[in-house]
């Protein structure tokens, strides 16, 4: 790609994210320095053993005929640095409870939905893009709906965070969410909307993850 076009693309990428995450703040000022995605606790339910099927489709477990219960969620986003440049090759991991609030973890006695993978990973493409097919997260005692996310990018420390759903009434009562403050909350809160296509009732959301340089 010619240098001029490449620069234009990078600037455009930064603006797009700044527009999503900064509201009425000046776009150009924020494009040069995006809000880093805040760190959050890993919690006790990162898998003890990574499942045999650990791909980016958590709704379909290899070898099982049925798909997971719950509301289908197509989650996508990009891994970026604070200047809006894609961080290609990053491994994005997600883990979350099933539609009844149970994790793929021996510390959770279930019963869990065996058709839900519980954990998945994806590698960001050249534009930093990643995607998952999963379910809309549900609350469990003491927590608002969330998806745990970890990102391992080349030559950077591992980032562990959590993603939340915009407008969920339980967010305001969630200790970890409240502790983030307004900027942090904005950086990890995702609007969900309907998906057009052949998956009735499915939702989609975009979670861009910003790593410190």
Q: Which residues of this chain interact with Fe ion, rule CB under 5 A? A: 43
Return the C-alpha torsion angle 212, 50, 202, 185, nearest 10. -30
**Among residues 36 and 145, whose Cβ is nearest to Fe ion?**
145
Q: Which is nearer to Fe ion, 77 or 118 (CB)?
A: 118
Residue 28 dihedral angles phi and psi, to the nearest 5°:
-65, -35
Report, in Å, the least distance between residue 97 CB and Fe ion: 6
Residue nearest to Fe ion (CB): 43
Phi, then psi, of 135 in degrees rounded to 5 = -115, 155
User: Least distance (Å) from Fe ion to the CB of residue 148?
Assistant: 6
DSSP string, 148-178: EEEEE-TTSPPEEEEEEETT-TTGGG-HHHH
Report the SS3 class of residue 21: helix
Q: Which is nearer to Fe ion, 14 or 118 (CB)?
A: 118
User: Measured from the CB atom, is 43 or 139 closer to Fe ion?
Assistant: 43
- Least distance (Å) from Fe ion to the CB of residue 44? 8
Nearest-approach distance from CB 160 to Fe ion, in angstroms: 12
């Amino acid at each position: 790609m010619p240098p001029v076009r490449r620069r234009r693309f990078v600037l455009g990428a930064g603006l797009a994210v700044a527009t999503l995450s900064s509201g009425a703040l000046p776009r150009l000022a924020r494009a040069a320095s995006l809000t880093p995605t805040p760190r959050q606790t890993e919690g006790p339910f990162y898998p003890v053993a990574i499942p045999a099927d650990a791909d980016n489709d958590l709704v379909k477990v290899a070898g099982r005929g049925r798909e997971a219960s719950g509301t289908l969620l197509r989650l996508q986003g990009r891994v970026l640095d604070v200047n809006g440049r894609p961080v290609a090759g990053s491994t994005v991991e997600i883990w979350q409870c099933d539609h009844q609030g149970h994790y793929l973890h021996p510390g959770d006695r279930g019963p869990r939905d065996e058709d839900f993978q519980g954990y998945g990973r994806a590698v960001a493409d050249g534009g930093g893009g990643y995607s998952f097919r999963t379910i809309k997260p549900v609350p469990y005692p003491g927590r608002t709906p969330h998806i745990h996310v970890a990102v391992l990018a080349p030559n950077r420390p591992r980032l562990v965070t959590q993603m939340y759903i915009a407008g969920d009434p339980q967010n305001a009562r969630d200790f970890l969410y409240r502790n983030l403050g307004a900027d942090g909350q904005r950086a990890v809160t995702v609007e969900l909307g309907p998906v057009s296509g052949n998956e009735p009732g499915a939702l989609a959301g975009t979670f861009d993850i910003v790593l410190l340089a």
